[in-house]
Amino acid sequence: MPTRMSSFFLRTLREDPADAEVPSHRLLVRGGYVRRVAPGIFTWLPLGWKVYRNVERVVREQMDAAGFQELHFPALLPRGPYEASNRWTEYGDNVFRVKDRRDNDFMLGPTHEEFFTLTVKDLYDSYRDLPLAIYQIQTKYRDESRPRAGILRGREFVMKDSYSFDLDDAGLDASYERHRAAYESTFDRLGLEYVTVSAMSGAMGGSASEEFLAPCDSGEDTYVACTSCDYAANAEAVRFPVADPVDATDAPAAHVEDTPETPTIQTLVDLSNGRDDLARDDREWTAADTLKNVVVMISQPDGTREPLAIGVPGDRDVDMKRLEAEFEPAVVEAFTPEDFAAHPQLAKGYIGPGEDVLGQGGIRYLLDPRIAEGSRWITGANAPGNHVYDLVAGRDFPVEGRIDVADIREGDPCPNCGGDLTLARGIEVGHIFKLGRRYAEALDLTVQDESGTNVVVTMGSYGIGVSRAVAAIVEQSHDDAGMVWPRSVTPFDVHLLTAGKSDDHAAAAESLAAEIEAAGMSVLYDDRDASAGVKFNDADLLGMPTIVVVGRGLKNGEVEVKDRATGDRRDVPFDALVETLVADAARA
């Protein structure tokens, strides 16, 4: 039986919801696929649920095909295991915490590493049981400080998470590769365009890590890709090589100059160019000649705070996102007036390297990799209104450490081949990484090897944002009129409507609907007593891949078949309709 719109639980909105910004949010709400219940929490209405389940089905089929085994943990989790890995604290405000009637702590699981690990530990003891790869498709909860963009980033969302367990690094490599291949086939089937970029392993600890990003304007992740080689990385993970040392034997001695009213790079550059005693003969000073020192506070989950100074070329800013990624799970805070008061050696606006100030016994001081040993700089002289010129890195102050957190720009040299980097945005729909032994060690997951020795298991962790993928598909596949579903996840194969209200139209549509369904395709039949325009617009909005119109061609025994994606329309005789639809579906 076709689903009849006259009785289908669906209401489309004529106007965009006021709170929806990104296309997926706007269209999913307007099309009656989802409905907001609370910030970041949504109801899946019948149409949306069909899409969601199709996505979930594809994910499950590809996991099963790869030989991974599905299980299901609770979403409501006791505190204990998270103590062992220290994450009850580390996750901070991002977890929904609840108590039972006896005042025991529970949480709504934001992730399940501990439970996978502990369950394997419970059941397995021998190397002969490995390798193992298990997964679940689970509702996860994260009390995001700022949920946004509708389904793209909710506080309740569905994630497929897998874990692999291997005896050694070679085994982990193999498990990782199997997951990568499974992910590629999954996203291919979902009709998602994606790029694979290398990524930091983030809060979970570990080594190799790659993200699957669906490129689109609403993406929250910035990634770089090289125009010359196949290098691609999340902006947070890009690491530029340390610049080669330069010869500084001819460099003049460093000299402090009186530079009043120059607390910013721009004022400093302007003053330097404007004064005869400071101006260069060969060219103008630029911001890139200055060494900018940014002081921040690194705040650990346990509450300890430590100041950190970062030196970058003055034409660059510190990218806070990259900096945060570097110190996870610690949080980076701006230096407050109180912090400055507690460090009186820091002259705001005139901070520079110096004994007991930055480095050399003072605040921990790390330099951008572009600052070569032997390079000359203008920087703060640690006194208001004073800068030091011709300060040579490595000669006048030691290079105590490096940190690569400056902003990345279009055209920056590729760390791999030196070609030009491009910047783009994408939605993280998948993430695979080699966890290593962190959880296994913390939770004491070992197996006996052939010699009877206990060996710590090495793990991999692999996620797919199932609910997020629904939104990502819309982000990539829509036009002004509405959504355009890939056939693999469409809620219905065919959207059938009558343009014309005679009994003949209805009878023809009924019989065609039955034929189409008999051929194995699902039909959403718009049998409503609405004007043709309303039906056409709803059909475009709802986005089934094929729209069949029983209209003015009826008298000739023809219907119109419209391809939602291309907009192409063809008149097809009744008796050729099913054949046409089957052929179209097969071609897609």
Partner RNA sequence: CGGGAUGUAGCGCAGCUUGGUUAGCGCGCCUCGUUCGGGACGAGGAGGUCGGCGGUUCGAAUCCGCCCAUCCCGACCA
Burial of residue 149 (number of CB atoms within 10 Å: 0-12, 13-18, 19+): buried
Instruction: Give the span between the Cα atoms of 10 and 491, in whole angstroms.
Output: 13
Per residue in 429-451, is it b (16+ CB within 10 Å) or e — as a string?
A: bbbbbbbbbbbbebbebbbeeee
Least distance between RNA and beta carbon 343 (Å): 21
Choose one: 224-232, 248-256, 350-358, 494-502; the region binding RNA (CB under 7 A): 494-502
Instruction: Considering only residues 559 through 588, tell me which ones interact with RNA, judged by CB under 7 A.
Output: 560, 562, 569
Cβ contact 329:94 at 8 Å: no
**Is residue 208 a contact residue for RNA (CB under 7 A)?**
no
Count residues contacting RNA (CB under 7 A)? Answer: 75
Instruction: Considering only residues 241 through 270, tell me which ones interact with RNA, judged by CB under 7 A.
Output: none
Burial of residue 455 (number of CB atoms within 10 Å: 0-12, 13-18, 19+): middle
Least distance between RNA and beta carbon 380 (Å): 25
Establish how many alpha carbons lie within 13 A of residue 161's alpha carbon, considering only the half-sphere containing its beta carbon: 22
- For residue 476, count other CB atoms closer than 10 A to its CB: 20
Tell me the H-state helices in 403-451.
438-442
**Is residue 142 a contact residue for RNA (CB under 7 A)?**
yes
Cβ contact 135:70 at 8 Å: yes
Least distance between RNA and beta carbon 84 (Å): 19
Q: And the tokens for 445?
A: 């997951």
Establish how many alpha carbons lie within 13 A of residue 16's alpha carbon, considering only the half-sphere containing its beta carbon: 13
**Is residue 57 a contact residue for RNA (CB under 7 A)?**
no
Q: And the tokens for 588?
A: 């897609």
58 or 393: whose CB is closer to RNA?
Answer: 58
Choose one: 153-161, 238-246, 352-360, 393-401; the region binding RNA (CB under 7 A): 153-161
Least distance between RNA and beta carbon 553 (Å): 5
Least distance between RNA and beta carbon 58 (Å): 15
Torsion of CA 464, 470, 471, 474, to 10 degrees: 130
Q: What does residue 38 show for φ and ψ, rounded to 5 degrees?
A: -155, 170
Least distance between RNA and beta carbon 390 (Å): 34
Instruction: Considering only residues 472 through 491, tell me which ones interact with RNA, judged by CB under 7 A.
Output: 481
Instruction: Give the span between the Cα atoms of 136 and 77, in whole angstroms.
Output: 15
Instruction: Considering only residues 20 through 39, tell me which ones interact with RNA, judged by CB under 7 A.
Output: 20-21, 25, 30, 36, 38-39
Choose one: 80-88, 174-182, 418-426, 459-467; the region binding RNA (CB under 7 A): 459-467
Which one among 167, 204, 483, 524 touches RNA, defined by CB under 7 A?
204
Least distance between RNA and beta carbon 9 (Å): 13
Least distance between RNA and beta carbon 262 (Å): 26
Instruction: Considering only residues 507 through 546, tell me which ones interact with RNA, judged by CB under 7 A.
Output: 530-534, 536-541
From residue 256, how far is each of 31, 277, 291, 350, 381 by CA, in Å?
A: 66, 12, 14, 12, 7
Instruction: Give the span between the Cα atoms of 362 and 351, in whole angstroms.
Output: 12
Encoded one letter per residue, x for contact with RNA by CB under 7 A and - for no contact, window 164-203 reads --------------------------------------xx
Which one among 129, 144, 168, 517 touches RNA, defined by CB under 7 A?
144
Which one among 7, 9, 15, 102 touches RNA, defined by CB under 7 A?
15
Encoded one letter per residue, x for contact with RNA by CB under 7 A and - for no contact, window 423-452 reads -----xxxx---------------------
Cβ contact 480:175 at 8 Å: no
Choose one: 164-172, 244-252, 318-326, 512-520; the region binding RNA (CB under 7 A): 318-326
Instruction: Considering only residues 329 through 388, tell me which ones interact with RNA, judged by CB under 7 A.
Output: 329, 331-332
**Is residue 11 a contact residue for RNA (CB under 7 A)?**
yes
**Is residue 500 a contact residue for RNA (CB under 7 A)?**
yes
**Is residue 460 a contact residue for RNA (CB under 7 A)?**
no
The C-alpha angle 140, 142, 147, rounded to 5 degrees, equals 115
Least distance between RNA and beta carbon 248 (Å): 35
**Tokens 């549509």 belong to which residue?**
509
